[in-house]
Structure 1
Amino acid sequence: MAPKNSSGTSVWVVTSAPDRESEGVVYSVHASETDASDAANAEDASVFKYDLVKAAASTKEKAAKPATKVKKDSKSTSVVAEDDEDDDMEGDDEDAAKAAKKLAAAEKKAAADAKKADTAAKAKEKKDARKTIPQGLPNALGGLTILFTGTFELDRKSCEAAAVKYGATLSKKIADCDYVILGAKPGPKKLVEIEDDNIQTAKESDFLNWVADGGPEYNGPAAKKQKV
């Protein structure tokens, strides 16, 4: 189920207060009800919806009202009462500003999480689309002694197993090879040995083609072409 997101005019507050009228500790502010509920469950807390528009309207309404003068014998007492009301309005403004700031941070985090999830999904899709070893011909690699070096789109063990399955002999020494199958980033020492011993090389794609159609030493029946 998709998370319930804030409309942009409200946030979800996770607090220790048992109800809206009680005071409590604010643990966190979230842009979606789902995230707030998860956080509340973790803190064993309550969740309340805080309407930023209503809060801002309330603040404007208080600012529009004339300061209430308290009738006292002393003029200084009346001034103190007006100052107290001003402090309350400033506190409301600060709360609204903090809530708006937390909302912006929550929305930014949500966007970052969505981008991260999209990147992970694309990486998985790319991984799933990697090549697979084709159905090969019997003894397609018969007569070949080969060695794999570097990294491959398929893991090296799968390639080596396929090589043996289709008749090749694996070697640990480059000097004993007919071909070295080069993956990405082959070892520098092995490249020097390949050049010194004048060993033939092939790519992973060549190896997969050999499996499907027969290697350089293959003399059996040709592979059947699939209908398109």
Structure 2
Amino acid sequence: MRGAGSAPYRPYAVRFMDPEHLPYVVREHLRLFPDGFFARLGPWFLAAYTRTYLTSPHALAFIAVVKQQPVGYLVGVTDPALHRRHLLRRHGGALLIRALGGLAVRPGLLVHFLRTRAPRYYRKLMRRQQPGPATPATPQTSRDPGAVLAHIAVDESARSLGIGADLIERFAAASAIAGCARVSLVTVEGPGGAGPYYERRGWRCEGGSSTPEGRRLLTFERVLDTPSWPPGRTGRETGDPPLG
């Protein structure tokens, strides 16, 4: 019999993701987010890219399991700039090889890349290489730093258990402990997107954008509370997002 002060029973467990969970995460990512550019590069690239969340000190990766079987996951970063630097320095060469391999066996995707993404990447590279006048360092504002929830997914069979809400709250709590003042995410605009789910739970829409392929996206943001661990569960936190 459970005591008055004991934690509520949950038919699932949430833990930090291990390399052994990567096949499940990649499979689910390809199934649920097949239109993403990284997904279209194939499972070989996507597995290597997802692994960067496990090696970066500026990233978090959670897995949810029921009876030792994975049923959901979340990946995100607590400092996008430092995580990107880690990715390029430690994994950049391997990711480039896998990306080129994915493009080589997908001629249509290669043409698409050259038309939509290559010019943008080239402009960014040229801006970084061009010397400019030295500027004094600017102090951090109240909006810095901010965490980014990259992807969250829960199996259809487990969505009534509140796993998605639990994953989000754990990521938010860990991000607050890491010093983040806010957390943001991007979801698809319109039908199939998770915008209404996040709005009902206090997230604020910060505007829209478009991918190079023309897909409309919405950015949502949430101000983080005082750090606490483990996060508490309230009625506001129940329910799972459609996708994210």
- TM-score tier, shorter chain, comes to under 0.3
TM-score by length of 1: 0.18
Q: With a CA cutoff of 8 Å and minimum separation of 6, indicate the structure with the bigger relative contact order.
A: 2
Larger Rg: 1
What TM-score do you get using the length of structure 2 for normalisation? 0.17
